[in-house]
Amino acid sequence: MIFYGSQASRIADLKINGTTCERCQKTSAQHVSVFSKHAHLYWIPLFPIGRVIVSECESCKITIKQKEFSAPLKSQLQLQKDNIKTPIWKWTGTGIIAMLIFAIWSISPSPDKDPRRQLLKNDLMLTSIYPEESSDTTSAKLKTMFTTLATVEFRSDRFEYLTKEDDEKILVLIKMPELHRVVDEERDAIIQIVEMFTSNEEAENVKPVYIGVSNGSRMILVKTPDSYENDDYASQKPLYAYYGNPPAE
């Protein structure tokens, strides 16, 4: 249960002489009390939310609210009002919250500034359900293979592919929307199929292959020359190596 609401505390007492009491019609001192209301959470003041001013007649001891004050009492009070400051502790809770937010903000890690992250993001947006046979032969072959192998529930018609290849390395990105439902061993088979289609054993130099298979929202299978992760929340960072070295600090 959350305890919150408003509380009031007396912040000033004034004695105003020479006005006539509205009740007893005597000219005697009025004891004016100023209360400051504040919102609280678990009784920790958050911020001030206004004032309540009352006055007690020294003669008849009747207490009246501000709206009942006589005009002379009001104007006398007005003269002194500027001197009544709301104490700073009324902001304690707000201050604590602000400090907490600042503390959390200052200890949280800075966002990933690695420019390779954006390069991977761009490539992930370029994956296609219908890879071009002419421009992306490997993806077209993979699509044929997975369409043949995958069961209907696995929705192979929605798979997306992108293969990039330069003189030194190969990148294969695949989106399989239902991948998180697939058991680990079958996921391993996906990697094996991709490797089968990307390895050219007749070539003089075997190119390193970077494979990232996501379910469209997060990486699940990530295999690079240095790492292999088969996990519902695999890190995409090993794929950054495809785009080159990390930026200098």
Please give the residue ranges that form the binding site for Zn ion (CB under 5 A): 21, 23-24, 57, 59-60
Q: How far is the CB of 68 from Zn ion (least distance, A)?
A: 12
Q: How far is the CB of 25 from Zn ion (least distance, A)?
A: 8
- Contact predicate 140/162, CB 8 Å: no
For Zn ion, give the closer residue by CB, 28 or 137. 28
Radius of gyration of the chain from Cα atoms? Answer: 37
For Zn ion, give the closer residue by CB, 55 or 214. 55
Q: How far is the CB of 21 from Zn ion (least distance, A)?
A: 3
d(CA 100, CA 102): 5
Nearest-CA neighbor of 187 among 205, 224, 207, 213? 213
Q: How far is the CB of 36 from Zn ion (least distance, A)?
A: 26
For Zn ion, give the closer residue by CB, 24 or 96. 24
Nearest-CA neighbor of 121 among 247, 236, 211? 236
Q: Tell me how far the alpha carbon of residue 126 is from its chain's centroid.
A: 27
For Zn ion, give the closer residue by CB, 31 or 218. 31
Q: 40 has which bridge partners?
A: 5, 45
- Contact predicate 45/38, CB 8 Å: yes
* Helices assigned H by DSSP within 11-136: 71-81, 92-107, 115-125
Cα separations (Å) of 190 from 51, 124, 161, 162, 232? Answer: 70, 18, 13, 15, 15
Q: How far is the CB of 95 from Zn ion (least distance, A)?
A: 42
For Zn ion, give the closer residue by CB, 60 or 145. 60
Q: How far is the CB of 58 from Zn ion (least distance, A)?
A: 8
For Zn ion, give the closer residue by CB, 21 or 73. 21
